[in-house]
């Protein structure tokens, strides 16, 4: 088990109020580290008070409070609070965690349900209200989920909730997750940053007050990084120790510093703003956090949600909240040629809903250390948008008998059309035992099977207007013009070849331009789709 | 004149609605640049409509709308809007700009006056209300200043104001400028980011709507950067073209990317959050901005404010809003040993009020290009806090017969006590003709002369309690304990030696540790205090 040798040092049950007061001021980090080295460090255990005061050296393997799971050793009955538990990811994760024995609580203010309505859209997969979801979860999976309707910005109510639930892990999904929504106008931009940035800042103060030992697992986005045109590596949030900057004949290590960010919308800016608030809270107060730079999510399936229709998670396919693959599948079902923006050469990281849940569970299992702000690039694979359209069109036509075309439309966004993309995503794989499980084609096939059900097809039809891009980054609101329509399988994919570095031994990191005569293939280092082991 | 060869391309009167629509989407920057190169670029002039449509090639020297000033060529009767015109910097700049012929308008909601009252403090220099200030300015300087009481967050009122005033330059001083204020509790942290970050975001949308050609000059802070412990250079916001990152045997230019930030409080975080909003607005909408990373300001004097008591600008010396030198001088007058936090080895950049106004005027004179987001490190000199205490104590005792002692107190902040500091500040000097004018000792002497006036000394006495540090970064509120008290002139200053790079030819950029046997001196490249030329 990859995390068997971690100790109390990483355990949220360890109360660090022995001989070192981490959350004091007037002492530098190096002073604290020296003190720990020289005098040792003493803790108490919130779960085993009978141990008294001791050194934090019990390993997860040794400790009876930790038990082996397929995601690593995990704290027994871990108390997890999910902010945004009604959402696409929040609900799916709640079921998964409850099923493996966590005590799951969560809040939501149904902001997402309301914002989708504002777009004249709805989840194309019908979803039950929270009360019914929870009842069905109890019947089908035998689990208890503790829900309260609370707005993240209502710190008084959230404060009481945290006091009651005493979380050991907090999953922060409670944000508005849409780039186009944030670009509609000033009101939407401000609402996004108000909800996301100030909401998160308030949460940090509450964690400090109620549960400073809890691990905060916060959803960011790969879109914080932008697409550096030099092709320089997109590291995992912080420069690695062996990254060196040179200038005018001198060199300095950049190790540990935040890498440059170049967010792609005011929504993405809000995520960068969060990054800095969380980073600072870890520095000032010794909170601990994984900031998840997640690729674009797609799909509908996990074992827990697929088993009963009242347990399904939402699926948005409108231009505000629908991510690209989810939109493509719905367009294929609707008979709309798949809308590729601009050249379609944009490269992004992707992962299925199921893989995302697997990653999150592994991160929950192995909390960071006190004071540790760590960033994880959470994605399974890199694709060009054009390539995704090809795959969706192929699965739709071959497996489901649909006639699927592809159209290039005017790009309403301001983004680089063509760019190299060299992404590092090693931590989940090397430190947390993650291997992507769901090939894109498999999940796309599952999506077609679900979306072609008559009831869902009917819902899809009813929101047809909401699927097409209309929100322009320059503030206009108009339907993007079609530039061309083509048959899938008729275009070669050329240009920059993305590179994903997943293991330390991969030294081939040079992005290359694919020669038109070579067949195009995404260059992947050591990616394998594994069984659960 | 340093900016005589700039052209319409940099002029806010040039309306870029000829053959290239900069603010459109669906086109990449490289496409736009290609189009400009191949087809040329056509503009109209808002000030000289008789020119029709033409290429933006008239130089400032040639254009009758631009006139020579000692700050460079400047647009005649330039329409400037100052956000936060009632503040320490806002009022001072308003007078200076009005005096040299700008048409100055401004807004303020008196937030600063109210926040200082909340701290049981007040400006120790008595200041008139805006109506009286404006009346006196008219009498003394013969200038008109157009003021309206508006909250930055009230976008409706601000929108009308911008529509009326049609600014060619917007100076954004409308933020809460205090690190300790932002660390008081969740309410103060949230209020700071709400006012600063969301206020700025709203302003960007209004500029886009009403005056996209205007130059936005936005106050940031050197505190966005932190104090990198490797001693790597603190560049001017963006990596220079010759900065190269190497990793695993490969190299990439970092040129043009934002450098890492490491803000020192939730207030400093708000400035970083602004950085990203402004940066993105320049990218999406081709707005243009100088983001000013300003050092710590001190002083009371400019020609325009010193001439009449109703024209004086505010001076805060409380622990929330008083910057360090201003606090030291007031402590010396009050007979409180100067409060050095922790070791006092913290190095920061500083500049006098007068120098800051000079810098701002020069930046206003030479606007950035459309789409250009540029960052300027605005400071005159680097000092250690301990060193500042020595200088203030020396001037106070030698010139004003005061008994001044120095005390080290517990540091209520979370910051590195000792760190190298290699700062680049070339743009103002090389591109904008700036030379620092006010030596620290001179301005400190002026401050003593003012603060020792009986009326001001009495005001100082009345806020004595507010001067001592009480706001701790860990959320505590208690008076910092004194660690030691010593006489000035009795301590050697040792440790890291700061380096300021002000000219390209300065290649000596290696920070060095001063040997205890050598006399300590800040290492400065080519700094000179010049006369006005």
Mean pLDDT of B501-528: 51
What pLDDT sits at residue B533? 38
What pLDDT sits at residue B38? 79
Nearest residue of A to residue B235, measured between CA atoms: A247
Residues A12, B272: Cα–Cα separation, whole Å: 31
DSSP-assigned letters across all residues of B270-297: HHHHHHHHHHHHHHHH--EEEEEEE-EE
Residues A95, A205: Cα–Cα separation, whole Å: 28
Q: Is A311 exposed, middle or buried (0-12, 13-18, 19+ CB in 10 A)?
A: buried
What pLDDT sits at residue A215? 98
The first and second tokens of residue B258, run together, are: 């934002």
- Cβ contact (<8 Å) for B269 and A276? yes
Between strands A169-172 and A145-149, the pairing is: unpaired
Q: Is A382 in contact with A423 (CB distance < 8 Å)?
A: yes
Q: Which residues pair with A247 in a beta bridge?
A: A250
Taking phi over 0 as left and psi of -120 to 50 as alpha, with beta for the rest, B70 belongs to alpha
Mean pLDDT of B89-100: 98
Mean pLDDT of B394-411: 97
CA distance to partner chain A, nearest, from residue B414 (Å): 6
The first and second tokens of residue A504, run together, are: 């330390």
- Cβ contact (<8 Å) for B473 and A232? no
Closest partner residue to A280 (CB to CB) among B197, B202, B266 is: B266
Q: Is A57 in contact with A45 (CB distance < 8 Å)?
A: no
Q: What angle do CA B237, B243, B249 make, to 5 degrees?
A: 135
Q: How many CB atoms lie within 10 A of CB A362?
A: 22
Between strands A499-501 and A422-424, the pairing is: parallel
Please report which confidence band the pLDDT of residue B173 belongs to, taking 50, 70 and 90 as the band edges.
Answer: very high
Q: What angle do CA A183, A187, A192 make, to 5 degrees?
A: 65
- Cβ contact (<8 Å) for A190 and B197? no
What pLDDT sits at residue B332? 98
- Cβ contact (<8 Å) for A252 and B260? no
- Known catalytic membership, residue A221: yes
Residues A335, A329: Cα–Cα separation, whole Å: 10
- Cβ contact (<8 Å) for A194 and B193? no
Residues B190, B200: Cα–Cα separation, whole Å: 15
Closest partner residue to A25 (CB to CB) among B194, B474, B510 is: B474
What pLDDT sits at residue B522? 47
Contacts of A257 in chain B (CB under 8 A): 228, 260, 262
DSSP-assigned letters across all residues of A390-436: HHHHHHHHHHH----EEEEE---S---SS---EEE--HHHHHH----
| Four-point Cα dihedral A492, A497, A500, A506, nearest 10 | 120
Q: Which residues of B are catalytic?
A: 221, 267, 271
Contacts of A208 in chain B (CB under 8 A): 475
Q: Is A495 in contact with A514 (CB distance < 8 Å)?
A: yes
Contacts of B34 in chain A (CB under 8 A): none
- Cβ contact (<8 Å) for A247 and B243? yes
Residues A48, A51: Cα–Cα separation, whole Å: 6
What pLDDT sits at residue A492? 84
CA proximity to B439, closest of B299, B247, B267, B251:
B299
Q: Which residue has the tokens 């290429």?
A: B55
Question: What ipTM, to 2 d.p.?
Answer: 0.94
Interface probe, candidates A23, A34, A180, A186, chain B, greatest B C-beta count within 10 A = A186
The first and second tokens of residue B221, run together, are: 């802070």
Closest partner residue to A411 (CB to CB) among B25, B245, B249 is: B25
**pLDDT of chain A, 533 residues: tens digit per residue:** 999 999 999 999 999 876 666 666 655 666 777 777 777 788 999 999 999 999 999 999 999 999 999 999 999 999 999 999 999 999 999 999 999 999 999 999 999 999 999 999 999 999 999 999 999 999 999 999 999 999 999 999 999 999 999 999 999 999 999 999 999 999 999 999 999 999 999 999 999 999 999 999 999 999 999 999 999 999 999 999 999 999 999 999 999 999 999 999 999 999 999 999 999 999 999 999 999 999 999 999 999 999 999 999 999 999 999 999 999 999 999 999 999 999 999 999 999 999 999 999 999 999 999 999 999 999 999 999 999 999 999 999 999 999 999 999 999 999 988 999 999 999 999 999 999 999 999 999 999 999 999 999 999 999 999 999 999 998 889 999 999 999 999 998 888 999 999 987 654 444 444 444 444 454 444 444 544 33
What pLDDT sits at residue B18? 64
DSSP code of residue B175: S
- Cβ contact (<8 Å) for B413 and A25? yes
What pLDDT sits at residue B26? 59
CA proximity to A370, closest of A430, A433, A281:
A281
Q: Which helix (H) or strand (E) holds A205?
A: helix A199-210
- Known catalytic membership, residue A225: no
CA distance to partner chain A, nearest, from residue B141 (Å): 39
pLDDT digits (tens, 9 = 90+) for B404-447: 999 999 999 999 889 999 999 999 999 999 999 999 999 999 99
Q: Is B222 in contact with B377 (CB distance < 8 Å)?
A: yes
Whole-prediction pTM: 0.95
CA distance to partner chain B, nearest, from residue A186 (Å): 6
- The per-residue b/e assignment along B213-243, b for 16 or more CB within 10 angstroms, e otherwise, is bbbbbbbbbbbbbbbbebbbbbbbbbbbeeb
């Amino acid at each position: 088990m990859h995390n068997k040798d971690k100790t109390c040092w990483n355990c949220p049950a360890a109360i660090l109020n022995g001989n070192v007061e981490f959350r004091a001021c007037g002492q530098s980090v190096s002073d604290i580290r020296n003190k720990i080295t020289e005098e040792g460090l003493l803790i108490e255990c919130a779960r085993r008070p009978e141990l008294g005061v001791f050194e934090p050296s019990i390993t997860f393997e040794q400790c009876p409070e930790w038990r082996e799971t397929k995601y690593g050793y995990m704290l027994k009955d871990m108390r997890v609070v999910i902010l945004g538990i009604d959402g696409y990811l929040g609900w799916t994760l709640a079921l998964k965690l409850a099923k493996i024995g966590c005590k799951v609580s969560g809040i939501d203010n149904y902001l997402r349900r309301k914002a989708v309505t504002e777009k004249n859209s709805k989840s194309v997969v019908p979803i039950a209200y929270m009360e019914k979801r929870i009842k069905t979860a109890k019947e089908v999976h035998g689990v208890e989920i503790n829900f309260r309707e609370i707005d993240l910005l209502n710190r008084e109510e959230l404060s009481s909730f945290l006091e009651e639930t005493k979380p050991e892990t907090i999953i922060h999904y409670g944000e508005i997750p849409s780039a186009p929504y944030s670009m509609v106008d000033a009101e939407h931009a401000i609402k996004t940053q108000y909800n996301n940035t100030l909401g998160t800042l308030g949460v940090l103060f509450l964690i400090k007050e109620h549960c400073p030992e809890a691990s905060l697992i916060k959803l960011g986005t790969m879109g914080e990084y932008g697409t550096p045109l030099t092709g320089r590596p997109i590291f995992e949030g912080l420069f690695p120790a062996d990254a060196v900057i040179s200038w005018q004949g001198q060199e300095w290590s950049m190790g540990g510093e935040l890498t440059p960010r170049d967010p792609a919308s005011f929504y993405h800016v809000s995520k960068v703003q969060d990054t800095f608030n969380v980073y600072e809270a870890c520095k000032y107060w010794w909170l601990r956090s994984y900031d998840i730079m997640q690729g674009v999510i797609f799909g509908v399936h996990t074992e827990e949600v697929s088993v009963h229709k009242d347990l399904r998670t939402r699926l948005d396919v409108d231009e505000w909240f629908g991510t690209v693959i989810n939109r493509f599948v719905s367009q294929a079902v609707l008979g709309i040629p798949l809308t590729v923006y601009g050249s379609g050469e944009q490269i992004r990281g992707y992962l299925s809903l199921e893989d995302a849940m697997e990653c999150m569970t592994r991160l929950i299992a192995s909390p960071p250390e006190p004071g540790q702000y760590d960033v994880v690039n959470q994605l399974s694979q890199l694709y060009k948008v054009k390539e995704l359209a090809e795959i969706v069109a192929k699965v739709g036509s071959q497996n489901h008998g649909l006639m699927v075309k592809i159209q290039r439309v005017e790009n309403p966004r301001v983004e680089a059309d063509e760019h190299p993309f060299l992404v590092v995503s090693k931590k989940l794989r090397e430190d947390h035992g993650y291997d992507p499980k769901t090939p894109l084609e498999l999940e796309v096939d599952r999506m077609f099977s679900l979306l072609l059900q008559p009831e869902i097809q009917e819902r899809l039809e009813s929101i047809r207007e909401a699927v097409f891009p209309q929100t322009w980054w320059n503030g206009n609101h108009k339907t993007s013009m079609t530039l061309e329509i083509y048959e899938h399988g008729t275009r070669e994919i050329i240009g920059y070849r993305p590179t994903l570095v997943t293991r330390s031994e991969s030294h081939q990191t040079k992005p290359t331009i694919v020669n038109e005569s070579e067949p195009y293939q995404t260059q992947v280092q050591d990616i394998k789709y594994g069984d659960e082991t």
